[in-house]
Each structure stands twice: as C-alpha cells, then as structure tokens.
C-alpha cells in the first residue's frame, strides 16, 4: 500500500509505536495492538508499514464508505 493510500484511509487515531533496530531492519509494533508487528529498512519505511499493517488487520473487511462514531462501553 502506498503512502498516499494510507493517508487517504487515515482515521486520525494516535497510537504508540514501540520500535528497535536489529542488524538489518527496524522492527516495531503498536502498543495498543501488540499483535500488529512489522519491519522496515528505514524508520520511515517501518512507520509506513505499521500503518499498512494496522489497516489490513482492522479495516480489511470494511467497505470504503464506512463511518466512525465514538461510543462508551
């Protein structure tokens, strides 16, 4: 998914990415969704990939014309 596609899908929710450098790749995951983890050759690529992974995991089956509403649970 391109950066343009991810930006277009943005729902402006702030999350916390924890990340670290291994030998070749930057690795990271979302603190709020620890099951979402990915890698990138650069820190910028890691951030783009983690946004892509988030949308794939949470929005994959949601149609393009979705709506957002905050509710109390």
Domain membership of residue 69 (yes or no) is no
Phi, psi of 4 (to 5 degrees): -60, -45
User: How many structural domains comprise the chain?
Assistant: 1
- Residue with token string 């820190």: 43
**Can you give the residue range of the structural domain that contains 30?**
3-59
Domain membership of residue 72 (yes or no) is no
pTM: 0.69
Tens place of pLDDT per residue across the chain (73 aa):
455 554 455 556 789 999 999 999 999 999 999 999 999 999 999 999 999 999 888 887 878 888 888 888 8
What is the per-residue pLDDT for 42?
A: 97
Domain of 23: which CATH number?
Answer: 3.30.160.250
Helices (H), the chain: 3-9, 43-59
């Amino acid at each position: 998914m391109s950066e343009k596609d991810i930006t277009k899908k943005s729902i402006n929710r702030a999350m916390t990415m924890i990340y670290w450098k291994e030998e070749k790749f930057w690795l990271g995951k979302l603190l709020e969704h620890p099951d979402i983890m990915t890698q990138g050759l650069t820190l910028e690529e890691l951030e783009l990939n983690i946004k892509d992974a988030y949308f794939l995991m949470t929005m994959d089956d949601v149609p393009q014309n979705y709506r957002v509403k905050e509710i109390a649970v």
